[in-house]
């Protein structure tokens, strides 16, 4: 990128940081997504950093706030487009997983639709205004308001070896020992990978909390990933060590009732081990949840009511 960069109708001169907004109207709603654009002085790539596709994941949103405030435009080579909260209705509505306006999970409808429901329209604008003009995507998440989680990073193989090499190094640059190779239908990461862009997802925190260790994990990791992408200087950044990718095995509820886990997030478990039970609201046991794999508990639903198909937990193993 060289020269003036225009994002969502706002022109950003080289060497400046400008606040903008993506406004989406349709289906009887008006939604506003806050954006910061940092246009560097020199030529270079454009990176998109987005957070709050799930609006109750606060450490990732805080990460984008601090990143936008602390980066000096003169440090940036190319440009950074940061969306602080995509799913603003869920953010102010304290809603897990979905956009409360239409009940859709925004990270399952990429690349969106200009004529669809409000989540699809919002995602379409994020795609057109932020991700499509970028060379790299970083999508920040965490455990949702009903989940505890240990940090992980992920990337989606694109089929292009050069793109995948960069995405893999960006994911491992977070310094988190769990990196997944994941293909999540309708996710920002899959849509970006299919468009030939190195794309990563990083998750930390959960339970509706804003905690400093999770913010530090995401903020420092994002700066290292941006250094791998060439948008921030690589000087002083430790070299990235690549390990074995982790597989994530989701476990879902088979019944409606109260979920009583018998393990904590981060615990080591063995295949076949009882991880908890679901009881009806009279206390009768409906089912025991047994581990389908050996590994670590990566996320765990900590809010008791569950319905068939709801996620309960995921085991990460290699
Ligand atoms: Zn999320």
Q: What is the mean pLDDT of residues 90-102?
A: 97
In this model, does residue 43 exceed pLDDT 60? yes
**Is position 235 within any domain?**
no
Query: What confidence category does residue 238 fall into, taking pLDDT thresholds of 50, 70 and 90?
Result: confident
Question: Taking a C-beta distance cutoff of 8 angstroms, is the pair 157, 199 a contact?
Answer: no
Domain carrying residue 298? 247-317
Residue-wise pLDDT for 112-144, tens only, equals 999 999 999 999 999 999 999 999 999 999 999
The Å distance, Cα 100 to ligand 1 centre, comes to 15
The Å distance, Cα 54 to ligand 1 centre, comes to 5
Paired residues of 17 in beta bridges: 38
The Å distance, Cα 44 to ligand 1 centre, comes to 29
Q: Do 266 and 193 belong to one domain?
A: no
Q: Do 218 and 269 belong to one domain?
A: no
CB atoms within 5 A of ion ligand 1 belong to 54, 141
The Å distance, Cα 23 to ligand 1 centre, comes to 22
Q: Do 55 and 174 belong to one domain?
A: yes
The Å distance, Cα 241 to ligand 1 centre, comes to 26
The Å distance, Cα 268 to ligand 1 centre, comes to 23
Residue-wise pLDDT for 289-310, tens only, equals 999 999 999 999 999 999 999 9
Q: Scanning the structure block, which residue is given the tokens 């200087």?
A: 233
In this model, does residue 106 exceed pLDDT 70? yes
Q: Do 17 and 100 belong to one domain?
A: yes
Question: Taking a C-beta distance cutoff of 8 angstroms, is the pair 191, 222 a contact?
Answer: no
Q: Do 224 and 253 belong to one domain?
A: no
The predicted structure's pLDDT at residue 1: 55
Q: Do 182 and 284 belong to one domain?
A: no
Cβ neighbors of 62 (< 8 A, separation 6 or more) are 210, 215
Residue 308 phi/psi, 5-degree rounding, is -55, 130
The Å distance, Cα 98 to ligand 1 centre, comes to 9
Q: How far apart are CA 147 and CA 314, in angstroms?
A: 11
The Å distance, Cα 57 to ligand 1 centre, comes to 6
**Is position 241 within any domain?**
no
* Average of per-residue pLDDT values in the chain: 96
Question: Taking a C-beta distance cutoff of 8 angstroms, is the pair 215, 59 a contact?
Answer: yes
Q: How far apart are CA 16 and CA 72, in angstroms?
A: 9
The predicted structure's pLDDT at residue 2: 64
Residue-wise pLDDT for 13-22, tens only, equals 999 999 999 9
CA atoms within 13 A on the CB side of 43: 0
Query: Which secondary structure element, helix H or strand E, spans residue 64, and what is its range?
Result: helix 58-70
The Å distance, Cα 90 to ligand 1 centre, comes to 11
Q: Do 216 and 100 belong to one domain?
A: yes
Which of 229, 260, 284 is where one domain is finished?
A: 229
The Å distance, Cα 189 to ligand 1 centre, comes to 12
The predicted structure's pLDDT at residue 285: 98
Query: Which secondary structure element, helix H or strand E, spans residue 54, and what is its range?
Result: none
Q: How far apart are CA 233 and CA 42, in angstroms?
A: 12
The Å distance, Cα 235 to ligand 1 centre, comes to 31
Q: What is the mean pLDDT of residues 35-46?
A: 95
Residue-wise pLDDT for 266-286, tens only, equals 999 999 999 999 999 999 999
**Is position 239 within any domain?**
no
Task: List the beta strands (DSSP E) in the chain.
Answer: 5-7, 10-12, 16-26, 29-39, 42-51, 77-83, 136-141, 147-149, 152-155, 179-181, 199-203, 247-252, 257-261, 268-269, 274-279, 285-290, 295-301, 305-306, 311-317
Q: Do 119 and 213 belong to one domain?
A: yes
Tokens representing residue 106 in the block: 């925004």
Question: Taking a C-beta distance cutoff of 8 angstroms, is the pair 262, 275 a contact?
Answer: yes
The Å distance, Cα 169 to ligand 1 centre, comes to 22
Query: What confidence category does residue 235 fall into, taking pLDDT thresholds of 50, 70 and 90?
Result: confident
The Å distance, Cα 83 to ligand 1 centre, comes to 14
The Å distance, Cα 267 to ligand 1 centre, comes to 21
CATH code at position 276: 2.40.50.100
Residue 70 phi/psi, 5-degree rounding, is -95, -20
Question: 3-class SS at 318?
Answer: coil
The predicted structure's pLDDT at residue 240: 86
Cβ neighbors of 273 (< 8 A, separation 6 or more) are 290, 291
**Is position 268 within any domain?**
yes
In this model, does residue 237 exceed pLDDT 90? no
In this model, does residue 30 exceed pLDDT 60? yes
Task: Judge residue 123's burial from the number of C-beta atoms within 10 Å of its C-beta, 0-12 exposed, 13-18 middle, 19 or more buried.
Answer: buried
The Å distance, Cα 289 to ligand 1 centre, comes to 24
Residue 290 phi/psi, 5-degree rounding, is -110, 145
The Å distance, Cα 245 to ligand 1 centre, comes to 20
The Å distance, Cα 52 to ligand 1 centre, comes to 7
Residue-wise pLDDT for 240-275, tens only, equals 889 999 999 999 999 999 999 999 999 999 999 999
**Is position 236 within any domain?**
no
Q: Do 210 and 269 belong to one domain?
A: no
The Å distance, Cα 166 to ligand 1 centre, comes to 23
Query: What confidence category does residue 79 fall into, taking pLDDT thresholds of 50, 70 and 90?
Result: very high
Which of 198, 229, 260 is where one domain is finished?
A: 229
The Å distance, Cα 250 to ligand 1 centre, comes to 15
Q: Do 194 and 251 belong to one domain?
A: no
């Amino acid at each position: 990128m060289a020269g003036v960069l225009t994002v969502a109708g706002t022109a950003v001169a080289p060497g400046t940081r400008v606040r903008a907004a993506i406004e989406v109207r349709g289906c009887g709603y008006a939604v506003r997504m806050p954006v910061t654009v940092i246009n560097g002085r020199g030529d270079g790539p454009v990176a998109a950093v987005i957070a709050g596709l799930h609006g109750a994941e606060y450490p990732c949103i805080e990460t984008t706030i601090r990143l936008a405030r602390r980066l000096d435009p003169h440090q940036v080579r190319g440009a950074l487009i940061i969306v602080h909260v995509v799913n603003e209705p869920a953010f102010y509505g304290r809603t897990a997983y979905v956009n409360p306006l239409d009940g859709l999970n925004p990270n399952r409808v990429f690349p969106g639709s200009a004529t669809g429901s409000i989540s699809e329209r919002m995602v379409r604008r994020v795609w057109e205004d932020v991700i499509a003009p970028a060379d790299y995507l970083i999508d920040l998440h965490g455990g949702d308001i009903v989940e505890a989680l240990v940090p992980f990073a992920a990337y989606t193989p694109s089929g292009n070896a050069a793109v995948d090499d960069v995405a893999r190094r960006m994911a491992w640059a977070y310094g988190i020992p769990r990196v997944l190779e994941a293909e999540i239908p309708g996710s920002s990461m899959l849509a970006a990978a299919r468009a030939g862009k190195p794309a990563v997802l990083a998750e930390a925190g959960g339970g509706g909390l804003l905690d400093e260790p999770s913010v530090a994990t995401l903020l420092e990791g994002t700066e290292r990933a941006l250094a791998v992408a060439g948008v921030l200087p690589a000087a002083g950044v430790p070299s990235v060590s690549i390990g074995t990718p982790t597989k994530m095995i989701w476990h879902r509820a088979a019944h409606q009732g109260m979920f009583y886990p018998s393990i904590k997030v981060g615990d080591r478990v063995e295949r076949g081990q009882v991880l908890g039970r679901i009881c009806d609201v009279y206390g009768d046991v409906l089912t025991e949840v047994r581990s389908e794999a050996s590994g670590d508990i990566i996320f765990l639903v900590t809010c008791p009511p569950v319905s068939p198909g709801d996620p309960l937990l995921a085991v990460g193993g290699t």
